[in-house]
Chains A and B, each alone.
Chain A
Amino acid sequence: MLKVAIIGCGKQADAHAAQIQDLPNCELVGVCDKDELMAKQLFERFPVKRYFSDIRELLEVTRPDIVHITTPPHGHLAIGRMCLEANCHVFFEKPFTLNSTQASELVDLAISKHLKLTVGHNNQFNPVSTRMRALVKDGFLGGAPVHMESVWCYDLGDRIFATALLGDKDHWVRTLPGRLLHNIISHGIGRIAEFLQGDRARVVAHGFRSPLLTSLNETEIVDELRVMIADEHNTTAYFTFSTQMFPRIQQFRIYGTRNSLMLDDIHQTLITVNNTSYKYYLNHFIPPFLYARQYAANAWSNIGQFLRRDFHFESGRKHLIEAFYRSVSEDSPLPLSYREILMTSRIMDDIFSQLTNTVDEVRPYAHSERS
């Protein structure tokens, strides 16, 4: 039986607790928040043994095997260290840390203590992502990827919502090195990092503010980002983050020397782009039918999973947590490699450092245990 604890009892904690309570052979032994009321409300709504407002007490009393840290990232380094020092494996809510130096420190500590850690890049573990990974592994692309495109759109909502969200000058998101971008883009960057090689990548980033933010007199947050990335082997990628583009798109395309793949996170579709050509006008007639057939097959697959009770909104998180727990209990490979986690972090560092003309210096933020 795996003993699991959660530190940080805000909005993200509910999603973690909901998945953990459904997993076999594990129990939620404790939850902790610096505000005891917040810890208590989670304790009252989920099957949790105890609640705490002190992390050391949680670790000493419950002695968990795995700790989920669902606080804002400002506290991840300090809390992660405490958990690793207490011999706990750690699941971090994204973004992993404030920067790659902190990320490296945590990874090094985990390795030295023979413990494991991962970060909540959930979308990489939803069913279509798993299918895509299997195809790439089987050589569908015809070798290493040549190029990737990752598009991540984010809806700031209507003007009233944006005013409320962006109007809070003390919001912890504002104190991240990359502000709003920092809290979101790891989803799209992580997808690219998974298929890059080596430890380093060259990054060229361009950021700006949308007309909506400009009209709200926003001077700190950047909500439009375009990035070019290349690894040591010249595998390249484009990353786009936008709050302006509608419909909201969250897509990933990966191009190989033989075939390509198109993944749509929102519609949960995976389309194979096959290297087949037809004579003359048939090239315009047959492939559209074949694409239509693939989209229909995706729809049937999604419906089938829904009928089999395996198409949850949070399925990526569920599968990632399951894979991490399996890795801990069976000592099998991690669902996300440390190389990938660190490369994601370094790419984000590079992006934010290049945006310094528009993103000013980071303001200090008091560590909190709530997300």
Chain B
Amino acid sequence: MIINHNDRVLVTGANGFLGSKVVETLLARGFLNVRCLVRPSSNLTALHRVFEKFPDAHVDMVYGNLLSPAHCQKAIRDVSVVFHVAAGIEKTFPGCFMNSAVTTRNILEAASNERALRRFVNVSSLAVYSNAGRGRGEIIDEDGELETQFMRRFDAYCFGKTKQDEIVMEYGARKKVPYVIVRPGPIYGPGARSPIHSRVGIGTFGIFMHIGGANRLPLSFIDNCADAIIVAGITEGIDGEAFNVVDDDSPKSREFLRMYKKNVKRFPSIYVPYRLFYFFSYLWERYAKWSRNQLPPVFNPLKCAAEWKGNRYSNRKLKALTSWTPRVSTAEGLQRHFAYFRGTNA
């Protein structure tokens, strides 16, 4: 382990779905000197619930905005490991870029001057990979190519996250910031933003179109994901590495949908084969180009392939280089996920 349990660690986006679970897991693992960076306007109910479980912990709250270099400087002081979980969910390209890449640059700039820093853990996403030229079902590991055709894929989130990764690697090379990148798949579990990830299908046109079919969903249960992030922050000898974070025994898309309907709520859906939706996406993209974006290319072949081509992602490297194994089985994780959304009447 590269730090002691008394060393101070920083969690950005600490009040979020993933951030609060990372804080909870850190405290549960005995890291009792945790600093949480949250926005002043944040709803801290979930975080306070976590603190109540660990009355002996020394939790230091820093209220600030990662867009402010001064706030970043304040947050990073005397920190040994940064768990950079904060994520900007925005619809626009500049919005995503600002809340992912610019914020990351600011915290990295502050981190590069912090002597105590031993590691910067950048929480990225599987969305950064390009699967153009990959066969259906082919496994994509951490050496997979990152997306470069952002405007054609028309995916602002992918743009923001990919640029975030690039900046982290640049600071690693140029300013010697020791970093590790973790790329989780869709994170699910109690508190998740959405009950059904878009890799299963979409409801854009008034009825749910199930496009995932027999694809294995590269899911990551919230507890397992938090574990992965923490081991990426404390394990020796993995500086500069990237890790995909997906659970074992991922369900097929149609299994997930069937279980959701059985356990949470029944609703009508139609199955749309991947190739048919790919052709639709191709036509949509052509029309967008022909009409000069009268309809923007929200459906296009690259996006369609990224979501529903059925590529799988390996967690072999994470298991090999760290002590991580999924603590919660997929079967149990799904039950907890469904139970949560059954309670919220999703």
Q: Are A38 and B102 in contact (CB under 8 A)?
A: yes
**Cα of A116 to Cα of B43 in the assembled complex, Å:** 47
- In chain B between 206 and 244, which residues have their CB closer than 8 angstroms to a CB of chain A? none
Instruction: For residue A21, give the distance in angstroms from its CB to the closest CB of chain B.
Output: 10
Bound form: Cα–Cα A341–B42 in Å: 39
| Least distance between B101 CB and chain A CB atoms (Å) | 6
Chain A residues, CB < 8 A from B40: 167-169
The one of A41, A166, A167 in contact with B97, judged by C-beta atoms closer than 8 angstroms, is: A41
A342 within 8 A of partner (CB) = no
A37 to B68, CA, bound (A): 15
- On chain B, the residues within 8 Å of A38 by CB distance are 94, 97-98, 102
How close is A302's CB to chain B, nearest CB, in angstroms?
A: 12
Question: Given the interface contacts A164-B41, A306-B294, does A45 sit within 8 Å of B102 by beta carbon?
Answer: no
Say yes or no: is A56 at the interface (Cβ < 8 Å to chain B): no
CB distance from A334 to the nearest CB of B (A): 26
Question: What is the CA–CA distance of A266 and B120 in the complex, to the nearest angstrom?
Answer: 47
Instruction: State whether A9 touches B94 (Cβ < 8 A).
Output: yes
Interface residues of A in 144-169 (CB under 8 A from B): 163-164, 166-169
Q: Scoring B residues 272 to 296 as 1 if CB is less than 8 Å from chain A, else 0, what string do you get? A: 0000000000000000001111100
Say yes or no: A37 contacts B41, CB within 8 Å: no
A28 CB to closest chain B CB (Å) equals: 15
Chain A residues with Cβ under 8 A from B119's Cβ?
Answer: none
Q: Are A309 and B92 in contact (CB under 8 A)?
A: no
User: Is B65's CB under 8 angstroms from A41's CB?
Assistant: no
B104 vs chain A, min Cβ distance (A): 10
Q: Tell me whether B183 is interfacial, beta carbon within 8 Å.
A: no
Assess whether B320 is interfacial by the CB under 8 Å rule.
no
The residues of A that contact B290 with a CB separation of less than 8 Å are 309
Contact A18 B92 (CB under 8 A): no
CB pair B292 A309 closer than 8 Å: yes
Closest chain A CB from B248 CB (angstroms): 34
Q: Taking the nearest CB of chain A, how far is it from the CB of B318, in angstroms?
A: 30
Chain A residues with CB under 8 A of B159: 41, 45
Contact at A167–B39, with CB atoms within 8 Å? yes
A18 to B159, CA, bound (A): 17
How many residues on chain B are close to A (CB under 8 Å)? 25
Instruction: List, in ascending order, chain B residues with CB within 8 A of A163's CB.
Output: 41, 43
Interchain CA distance A13-B102 in the complex, whole Å? 17
Contact residues in A for B93 (Cβ distance below 8 Å): 14, 41, 45
Q: How many A residues have CB within 8 A of the partner chain?
A: 26
Q: Which of B68, B94, B102, B290 has the most CB of A within 10 A?
A: B94
Cβ–Cβ contact B41 & A45, under 8 A: no
Would A11 and B92 count as touching, CB distance under 8 A? yes
**Which residues in B have their C-beta under 8 angstroms from that of A168?**
39-41, 65
Q: Which of A35, A41, A42, A166 has the most CB of B within 10 A?
A: A41
In Å, the complex CA distance between A269 and B221 comes to: 49
CB distance from A192 to the nearest CB of B (A): 30
- Indicate if B163 sits at the interface (CB-CB under 8 A): yes
Known: A169-B40, A306-B294. A11 touches B94 (CB 8 A): yes
A14-B94, A168-B41 known; A312 and B294 CB under 8 Å? yes
Asked whether any CB of chain A lies closer than 8 Å to the CB of B95, the reply is yes
A37 contacts B102, CB within 8 Å?
Answer: yes
Q: From residue 268 to 310 of chain A, which have CB atoms closer than 8 A to chain B? A: 306, 309
Residues of A within 8 A of B105 (CB): 37
Please give, as numbers and ranges, the residues of chain A lying within 8 Å of B291 by CB-CB distance.
Answer: 309
Smallest CB gap from A41: residue in B: B97
A309 to B294, CA, bound (A): 7
Contact B98 A45 (CB under 8 A): no
Residues of chain B contacted by A10 (CB below 8 angstroms): 94, 98
Across the interface, name the chain B residue whose C-beta is closest to A311. Answer: B294
Q: Please tell me if A22 contacts chain B, counting CB pairs below 8 Å.
A: yes
Indicate if B270 sits at the interface (CB-CB under 8 A).
Answer: no
The reply to whether the CB of A330 lies closer than 8 angstroms to some CB of chain B is: no
Q: Does B151 contact A (CB under 8 A)?
A: yes
Q: Please name all residues of chain A whose beta carbon is closer than 8 Å to the beta carbon of B151 when the two chains form the complex.
A: 45
Interface presence of A170 (CB below 8 A): yes
Q: Which of A56-81 contact B (CB under 8 A)?
A: none
Chain B 164-181, CB within 8 Å of chain A: the 1/0 string? 000000000000000000
B51 at the interface (CB under 8 A from A): no
- Report how far A34 CA is from B42 CA in the complex, Å: 28
Cα A167 to Cα B38 with chains together (Å): 12
Is B324 an interface position by the 8 A CB rule?
Answer: no
B300–chain A nearest beta-carbon distance, Å: 15
> What chain B residues lie within 8 Å of A42 (beta carbons)?
94
B150 at the interface (CB under 8 A from A): yes
A41–B94 CB distance below 8 A: yes
Closest to A163 in B: B41
Q: Which residue of A lies closest to B65 (CB)?
A: A170
Residues of A close to B292: CB separation below 8 A: 22, 309, 312
Q: How far is the CA of A370 from the CA of B101 in the complex (A)?
A: 15
Complex contacts, A41 vs chain B, CB 8 Å: 93-94, 97, 101, 159, 163
Give the contacts of A320-371 with B (CB-CB under 8 A): 370
Q: Which residues in chain B, 30-62, are within 8 Å of chain A measured between CB atoms?
A: 39-43
CB-nearest residue of chain A relative to B150?
A45
Neighbour of A13 across the interface among B39, B42, B94, CB < 8 A = B94
Name the distance in Å between B156's Cβ and chain A's nearest Cβ.
10
Which 8 A/B pairs are nearest by Cβ-Cβ distance? Answer: A167-B41, A309-B291, A41-B97, A11-B94, A312-B294, A11-B92, A10-B94, A45-B151
6 additional A-B residue pairs with CB within 8 Å, beyond A41-B159, A309-B291, A370-B98: A13-B94, A14-B94, A38-B98, A41-B97, A167-B40, A169-B41
13 CB-based A-B contacts, threshold 8 Å = A10-B94, A13-B94, A18-B293, A37-B97, A37-B101, A42-B94, A45-B93, A45-B150, A164-B39, A167-B39, A168-B39, A168-B41, A170-B68
